[in-house]
Amino acid sequence: MMPTETTVQTVSLENVTRTYGAVRALDGVTWACPRGGFTAVMGPSGSGKSTFLHCASGLDRPTSGTVRIGGADIGRLSEAKRTRLRREKVGFVFQAFNLVPSMDVEENIVLPLRLGGLTADRAWLEEVVRRVGLADRLRHKPPELSGGQQQRVALARALVTRPEVVFADEPTGALDPRTAREVMALLRQVVDMTGQTLVLVTHDPAAAAWADSVLFLSGGRIVDELAGPTPDAVAHRMEAL
């Protein structure tokens, strides 16, 4: 029987291993990302968080095992098809914002659509801009914005294609604590209001506690999962890794 749209996982990893020479950066990871959920990924330095993000988002291919994004097995796709799948189905938010300084806010937000030869759905674009609180900043250029505002632009850019999943890699790493909290509250709000599936990679227990559940990686394996996390519970679990 074919799975229905609601039961198809956004992203799934089945027995995924990624080696670099003798190093097993990911070691037999099996995980299915819940649709509409907000998952944080934590672990000590070198535990495989970046490798997990790269494999789960289609930036990289596993050495063995299967990664599916929106039903497609990325190991079977050509480089060009994987790039296209990533552009259409995956949104990214990075610590370093990665905005184009010479383009204004709106041009930055619609860039993924332009790269894919698509035009913006005006109603959705306006909703995204409103949700991230940038309606009065559309003609500004990134250097004229605060760090928190720039990260809002990056979030809007990640949402504009209505991706299956948004991967946020240390999105608050370059922000002061108050701005970091505002950005996390906004991510939480976007998940709750739009049903966007979100995966957050972070070192920060306070950021991870905004998620529905936290995956803990150690030595390239998922060693624990904590539902309904609090900053204290996350920090306590991290100390034991």
Is the four-CA dihedral 198, 35, 128, 211 of positive or negative sign?
negative
Using the rule CB under 6 A, give the single segment among 18-26, 83-91, 187-195, 205-213 that binds ligand ATP: 18-26
Residue from 31, 33, 48, 168 touching ligand ATP (CB under 6 A): that is 48
Nearer to ligand ATP, 35 or 61 (CB): 61
Cβ neighbours of residue 154 under 8 Å, at least 6 residues apart? 93, 94, 97, 98, 99, 171
Classify the C-alpha dihedral 23-29-34-37 as positive or negative.
Answer: negative
Provide the minimum distance between the beta carbon of 127 and ligand ATP in the complex, in angstroms, as a whole number.
33
**Is residue 34 at the binding interface for ligand ATP, with CB under 6 A as the rule?**
no
Under rule CB under 6 A, residue 46 binds ligand ATP: yes
Q: Which two tokens stand for residue 174?
A: 């370059």
Cβ proximity of 241 and 223 under 8 Å: yes
Residue 91 contacts ligand ATP per CB under 6 A: no
Tell me how far, at minimum, the Cβ of 235 lies from ligand ATP, in Å. 16
| Under rule CB under 6 A, residue 96 binds ligand ATP | no
| Half-sphere exposure of residue 76: CA atoms within 13 angstroms, side-chain side | 7
Q: Dihedral, CA atoms, 42, 43, 48, 49, nearest 10 degrees?
A: 20
Applying CB under 6 A, among 47, 149, 151, 218 the residue interacting with ligand ATP is: 47
Q: Is 158 in the site for ligand ATP (CB under 6 A)?
A: no
The reply on whether position 50 binds ligand ATP by CB under 6 A is yes
Instruction: Tell me which residue has tokens 């819940």.
Output: 34
Closer Cβ to ligand ATP, 29 or 145, answer by number:
29
Q: Does the footprint of ligand ATP cover residue 65 (CB under 6 A)?
A: no
Which is nearer to ligand ATP, 106 or 170 (by Cβ)? 170
Nearer to ligand ATP, 132 or 167 (CB): 167
Count of chain residues binding ligand ATP (CB under 6 A): 11
Selected range binding ligand ATP among 7-15, 39-47, 58-66, 232-240, rule: CB under 6 A: 39-47
Nearest to 34 by CA among 192, 151, 186, 196: 196
What are the two backbone dihedrals, phi and then psi, of residue 15, each rounded to the nearest 5 degrees?
50, 50
Instruction: State in angstroms the smallest separation of the CB of 164 from ligand ATP.
Output: 22
150 lies in the site for ligand ATP, by CB under 6 A = no
Strands (E) in the chain, as ranges, are: 11-20, 23-32, 38-42, 64-69, 72-73, 90-94, 165-169, 198-201, 213-218, 221-227
Which residues would be at the binding site for ligand ATP (CB under 6 A)? 20, 23, 25, 43, 45-51
